[in-house]
Chain A
Amino acid sequence: MTPKRSARNRRLASVVLVAAVPVLLGVTGVAASASPVPAASPQAAAPNAAFTKTETLTRTNLVNGVNQVVDSNTVSVSVNQTQDLRNRQVIDVSWTGAHPTGGIVPQDTGPFGGEQEYPVVLMMCRGSASATSGKNLITPETCWTETSPERIQQDPGTFLGFPPYRLDEHASAADRAQNVGLPNPVPANCKPFTVVAAQHWVPFIAANGTVYPYGPGTPPCGSAPPEATNSESTEQPSNTTYGVTGTNGDGSSRFDITTAETNASLGCSDTVACSLVVIPIMGISCDPAGSGLPPGNPADLLPTSMTPPTPSDLCESTGHFKAGAPDLSPSQNGNPGFGALQDSLAVQGYLWWSASNWRNRIQVPLTFAQPSNICSLESTSAPLQIFGSYYLLGATQQWAPHFCLNKKLFALTHVIQPEPEAQSEVEQRSIDAAFEAEPPSSAFTSPIVQAPTAVSGFAIVFDIVTADGQQLTSLHLDARLLAKLLTESYPEDTDTQADPADRNRTTGQMNPLDIAFDPEFQALNPGIPTSIATQALASSATLLVQSAGSSAMWALTSYINADPEARAWLNGQPDPWGMVVNVNYKGIQLPVSQWPLLDTYVPKAFYTASPCFSTVQNPPPWLNQVASPIDSLSTLSLDMQFDVSDSVVSCSGGTVPAPVPFGPESPGATFILGLTSLSDADEFGLPVASLESQGGSTLDTQFTTGAGRTFVAPTDASLRSAVAMMQPDTGAGSWDLPYSALRTGAAGKEAYPGTLLISTDVPTTGLKKSVAQDYGEFLSFAAGPGQRAGNGNGEVPAGYLPMTAANGAGKLADYTKVAAADVTAQNGKVPTPGQGLPGPATSHSPGTSSGSGGSSASQPSSSASGGTSGSPAPSTSAPVTTSPGQAAPKLVPTALVRSAIAGDLLPLVLLVALVIATIGFAFWQLRRPTVPK
């Protein structure tokens, strides 16, 4: 499939407005046109699909009363999730055996997608999949489309009044009339548009019974639902998808669920049944003689003498394009009858509603979670505010109704704030409570509990298009690759790559341009072409992260720091292929809560040629522009969903050119990686990389596969394994994931290294009694009833492992129960983690407070390694199609680079600095002033 480009790319519209023609800063010119989709790789149906169905679909031609088979396909459809769906949730739909798609356009939704030939149409329809009659029957009129071309066909005469749908042998005579479905009366606005040779309207019937005719024109001349739009704007999502099938018959698409919360006209909810309707377009089964046309009316008589192509020829057409070929000039007004491609319509997605296609539909029943929109926006009691972690937002949005709906409770407000800031302000008593996942290394100076509240994790999400045009679904990363991305060690542009002045290499060779060129990445992820990364430019050389402080960065850099390969590499040891750390990051001490931008290299020749920098005395370092972390995590997740690169590597037009973000990547040429929450990854359907847990200790030996390394995806099982390893830190009063044990113990092998334990920091002195009770109530809820998995009120959605004894987290929940009592009592106590807590007995003995923290007391995970994938196998059999021509813009001849800092001296340097610092500290301690100046 082509990557989904729905019309709701918010940044898209604005970026275009801001910089109509952004000029690439780089001197390297890159062809960014979308490449057509070649053969898809073999793709097995998802093994754990919630829905699968196989149907044999046939296109026929009625000749002398006998049906001759023109085409027959056995199509299997799989959907990964169909139950308890939330608004805006993304589900995965995949299929095999369908007719390959041709005439491919960049956007597979909205008014353009329908023009493709042989797409697999995905749409939401109101009605029950099992209904055969009555008000729950699914009809084209209850199916959602955003634009009128998807519902209205008009023939201005091109088809002599007989477009293919009028020769559809499966359609009733009435449905084959000259004018079908027009509203009565025709709206005045529409009258000028209705004088055509033939037309067919499919009105939309809203949940409240209103009939919307849409009508031709932009915007539609008749009335359309308020959620519909005809413009390429930032309005409603167009989730109706015309999915692309590869030449091997396989395809997949991510589909956005919209409930009544977003689309009241369609009206899907926990009480109004809706289904996903999948229509593999086979083309019209023709009655070329017109034998089934309505009798009696001269206007309905098929003309007899015509010059080819006749309407019958056009109905029997198998398409204008070859399978996999792009349509470079889709008719943007979406009225194909007016276009030149008459031989295309019979197999286009626009005719999804025709009887021949409609009868081939596969109806997937869906159910929806109770909507969370039931909290009053204001309450008479003061809201209970908890500041901090974005990583808990998915849970708190479902928890809030639990509190607001109970009149005895309170309005829970989760104010997003960077965790280190929130944690610091709790200690300063600027705020009362904070969510964080970054336990302090020493205890708070005043009694503040850090009560475990939820188990979740960070996600390295990606959108990478492979050589066959498919979206990569599985990615394996080790800590060293992540360190390379973060340390700005991929030079990204050839000037920077070749410049000897700054890179300070130990090996004399140039670092790979971006991660796709890195042999280590290629070994772990075979088959990903460098050409895509080259087209995507900067985003393939960096990891998009949050600019402010965050617990996730602390956890990520803890993981990197504990990895022997990554740590050695950061200290200056080249990787087995000779790649070295950017000298500005060499020896960096980890973990950190906020990733520092340390590069200082300014590519002079390159900047001199750039209108953005040629007049600037102090141009910013290039690789910091490439990294360009952003403040808002919600924006980050959206950017990952829509492949928007935030790297500030483009130059605005206008009289005063200024650096601007690269913006949306070209469809078919996306290569972007980012750090966000597991919860967002699940909600937005973002693929998540598996992280190496163990196995890598190759400092010198090159490798070509991931054999011997274990990569762990975030699953309930792998989060459970991480929870089992969590150790009490009696000094800090927290529970920590021992990153070094993660690398060595048997349990660590199956644990997801990105696991986060999100805690609530609340003081146990100084709070007003009623407020303290509310916080206590919240903690008690989080330690018990709040830990049910699900999408309903008071539950934790996917992306969170319920913090329960069954998941090995009884020790954490028990701690929080005790903490809740201390908070309520405001008794100044802070329970010591891991030390014989009162409270409910658990099946897991609490950890010891030995303080060594080195060994894990975890029990083996009960799962059958559901989270591990062992050594990675090639996810695709397609050959690597690196085209020298495509990669050329970034390549330069090999060049010498200067030598670098001797990495092996670093420990000595650090030691000297440490000694000096210690002396300084002692000096200061001895002469500590008593009176401030």
Chain B
Amino acid sequence: MAATTSSTEVLAQINGSGSTWAQPAIEQWINDTTAQGLQVSFNGQGSAQGRTDFRNDTTDFGVSDIGFQGFNPQDGSNDSACQNPPNGNCRAFAYLPIVAGGTAFPYQIRVGGNLVENLRLSGETIAKIFTNQIRNWDDPEITRDNNGHRLPDLPIIPVMDSEGSGASFQFSAYLGREFPSIWKPFNQGSDAATEFFPRQGSAIAEAGSDGIMNFITSAAGNGAIGYDQYSYPKGENCPGCTSGWPVALLQNKAGFFVAPTQYNVAVALTKAVINMNKSSPNYLLQTLNNVYTDPDKRAYALSSYSYMIIPTGANDPTMSQGKRQTLANYIDWAICGGQAEIGPTGYSPLPVNLAQASFAQMDKLHAADHAVQISNLNVAKQCHNPTFFAGHPDGNLLAQIAPPPPSCDKAGVGPCPGETGVTSTGNPLKGKAPPPAARAPGSGSKTKAGHHGKVLVGAAVSVSASASAAAAPGSANDTAADSKTIPSAQDAGEGVALAVIAGLGALLLIAIPAVVAGRRQQRRAVR
């Protein structure tokens, strides 16, 4: 079998660069295939850099959340595969969808030092937040999204990616399509999407996914909200939270606020229009307009695919038989077995028809060099792809079995306590989505010391943010209000009482040292 790394195959190390949105999945597959003898390295520097490196023959493959945007003779900007545009020194390539997922909105809002965990936002509110029209968390529009529950008076700090990123592009494409009247004036009159999200006013730009998450989770990040692939906030430790660092539940066209789980993403992407014209340069690229407006109440609107760009020329300057074979074997795993493992980490697997289309694209490596062996896998039978169900090669089982959002996460109702909006992230069990993450009071694994408490929007009414203890040591929050003490189903009034107490404790921690400050002797520094 070709995909087996056998002694007859010539292999070589390959190197790629690009999307940090897809990076955790890419790295997982590298780990998997290292055990199988492949040498693959990947450098996450953003999709824009990935396409640039590919054009310049610096890499053997690129990963980008969007396709090449082309050469613009007006301003000379070149985002094509040609080093001398429009037609000079062009590198032949093909796109392959490799992973799907949702762009999430991680945030930090503290009430009495505790993290709010069940924030809900409409697309319009998000548009206004990231264009500096809504500047405070107590804004009436945010209160409306949360069914009348007002957040504290706390300035909003939008966080954007300073690197050219596909996440910025997907987010701005959504804004430009759905909220042009908000986006255009902010984007210098253009409704076009951009990989370089403009930073203005109170917003800050941080380098890549790491930088964004580091700021949002830091003590200085109280009030911050950013955008990032879901696996990043999901992997951040948030003791007591059901599913990683809190992300805003995004309102869909059906009026429900949902999270970017592999199920909700799968539902929305059934509305993606994929270019299936094999002769088109944009073959397999996505048009997401209908994803944004999917009327399914489970759909997560900011869902998209990410792509690998592979060199297909027979005389490609960096490719050799060994490199093509390594690339083919790596893709083989990524598209096949690799899809089954990424859902629980925050992605959504490719549906079978796209997986098959990606396999077909791989044949171009064989066309470039017939010594390269390409397996003819039966995706349905051999890949254990969780999207597959018999008789529906174009369907997506995850979309079929995706659990509906709880009724309390509908506009005008709720909000639901806790993160019940994050329904289920695990792979299907016995043909069904696993039950929603239930958090029983006192349940075990997350009750260690040293973490912050949390609080729910429903409990935030009338709690002043002045007691925010973001700058206080972790001990303040932990001592005052361990998350263990906040059950998942609680009355708002109880939460208020607890939050007030927590705030009081935190105030004490701040106030008492301040009183005694200044009483110590000053000494000169040694150096």
Contact = CB atoms under 8 A, between A and B. Distances in A.
Given A14-B53, A236-B12, A549-B235, A377 B458 contact: no
Contacts of B426: 425, 428-431
A227 B450 CA distance: 50
Given A262-B39, A923-B497, A14 B242 contact: no
Interface in B345-402: 345, 377, 381-384
Interface string B315-354: 0001011110000010011001100111011000000000
A554 B320 CA distance: 45
A844 B218 CA distance: 46
A578 B318 CA distance: 57
Given A430-B434, A910-B475, A507 B11 contact: no
Contacts of A932: 417, 489-491
Contacts of B473: 584-589, 598
19 contacts: A227-B13, A375-B36, A411-B337, A417-B345, A429-B435, A584-B471, A587-B473, A591-B449, A597-B219, A616-B204, A629-B214, A899-B518, A899-B519, A899-B520, A909-B513, A920-B497, A929-B489, A932-B489, A932-B491
Nearest to A219: B317
Interface string A887-922: 000010011111111100110111011101101110
A897 B525 contact: yes
B234 A421 contact: yes
A679 interface: no
B290 interface: no
Interface string B22-47: 01100110111111111101011100
B517 A507 contact: no
A409 B468 CA distance: 54
A593 B444 contact: no
A374 interface: yes
Closest 7 CB pairs of A and B: A373-B37, A549-B237, A430-B426, A658-B162, A508-B522, A508-B523, A597-B218
B209 A400 contact: no
Identify the interface centre among B36, B340, B425, B435: most chain A CB within 10 Å of its CB.
B36
B446 A596 contact: no
Contacts of B33: 377
Interface in B440-455: 440, 442-451
Contacts of B481: 917, 920
A624 B521 CA distance: 29
A590 B384 contact: no
A648 B212 CA distance: 12
Interface in A378-428: 378, 380, 382-383, 385, 387, 393, 396-398, 400-401, 411, 413-418, 420-421, 423-428
A425 B435 CA distance: 12
Contact of A413 (B337, B345, B506): B337
Contacts of A416: 27-28, 31
Interface in B397-454: 417, 424-427, 429-430, 434-435, 437-438, 440, 442-451
A273 B508 CA distance: 71
Interface stretch (B1-9, B69-77, B268-276): B1-9
B57 to A, nearest CB: 9
B89 interface: no
Interface in B39-85: 39, 41, 43-45, 49, 52-53, 56, 58-59
Given A17-B45, A616-B204, 5 more contacts: A264-B322, A420-B237, A445-B442, A578-B523, A599-B220
Contact of A924 (B199, B242, B485, B527): B485
B195 interface: no
Contact of B205 (A374, A427, A658, A909): A658
Interface of B: 1, 3-5, 10-13, 15, 17, 23-24, 27-28, 30-39, 41, 43-45, 49, 52-53, 56, 58-59, 155, 157, 162-163, 196, 199, 201-207, 209-211, 213-215, 217-220, 232, 234-237, 239, 242-244, 318, 320-323, 329, 332-333, 336-337, 340-342, 344-345, 377, 381-384, 417, 424-427, 429-430, 434-435, 437-438, 440, 442-451, 458, 470-471, 473-476, 478-482, 485, 487, 489-492, 494, 497-498, 501-502, 504-506, 508-509, 512-513, 516-527
A598 B474 contact: yes
A179 interface: no
B448 A631 contact: no
Contacts of B211: 628, 648, 659
A488 to B, nearest CB: 10
B35 A588 contact: no
B31 A634 contact: yes
A557 B448 CA distance: 12
A894 B526 CA distance: 7
B210 A894 contact: no
A374 B479 CA distance: 53
B512 A383 contact: no
Given A373-B36, A897-B525, A632 B24 contact: yes
A429 B471 CA distance: 35
Contacts of A401: 35
A902 B513 contact: yes
Contact of B524 (A586, A894, A923): A894
Interface in A433-451: 438, 440-445
A901 B513 contact: yes
Given A375-B36, A400-B35, A592 B344 contact: no
B340 to A, nearest CB: 7
B59 A234 contact: yes
Contacts of A8: 41
Given A233-B58, A377-B4, A421-B244, A659 B344 contact: no
A591 B447 CA distance: 12
Given A423-B445, A920-B481, A599 B219 contact: yes
A620 interface: yes
Scoring B321, B344, B426, B516 by chain A CB atoms within 10 A of each residue's CB, the highest score goes to: B344
A441 to B, nearest CB: 5
B236 A594 contact: yes
A430 B424 contact: yes
Contacts of A396: 35
B236 A547 contact: yes
B346 to A, nearest CB: 9
Contacts of B17: 10, 14
Interface string A851-889: 000000000000000000000000000000000000000
Interface in A625-682: 627-632, 634-635, 646, 648, 652, 656, 658-661
B469 to A, nearest CB: 10
Nearest to A554: B448
A916 B446 CA distance: 23
A442 B56 CA distance: 55
Contacts of B417: 932-933
Nearest to B501: A920
A374 B5 contact: yes
Nearest to B45: A14
B372 to A, nearest CB: 13
Contact of B451 (A14, A592, A635, A900): A592
Contacts of A618: 155, 157, 202-204
Contacts of B28: 415-416
Contact of A14 (B49, B205, B437, B501): B49
Interface in A228-243: 233-237
Contacts of A898: 517-518, 522
B336 to A, nearest CB: 5
A397 B58 CA distance: 29
A905 B516 contact: yes
Interface stretch (A27-35, A509-517, A748-756, A779-787): A509-517
A427 B445 contact: yes
A643 B425 CA distance: 37
Nearest to A513: B527
Contacts of B437: 428, 430
Nearest to A434: B445
B480 A425 contact: no
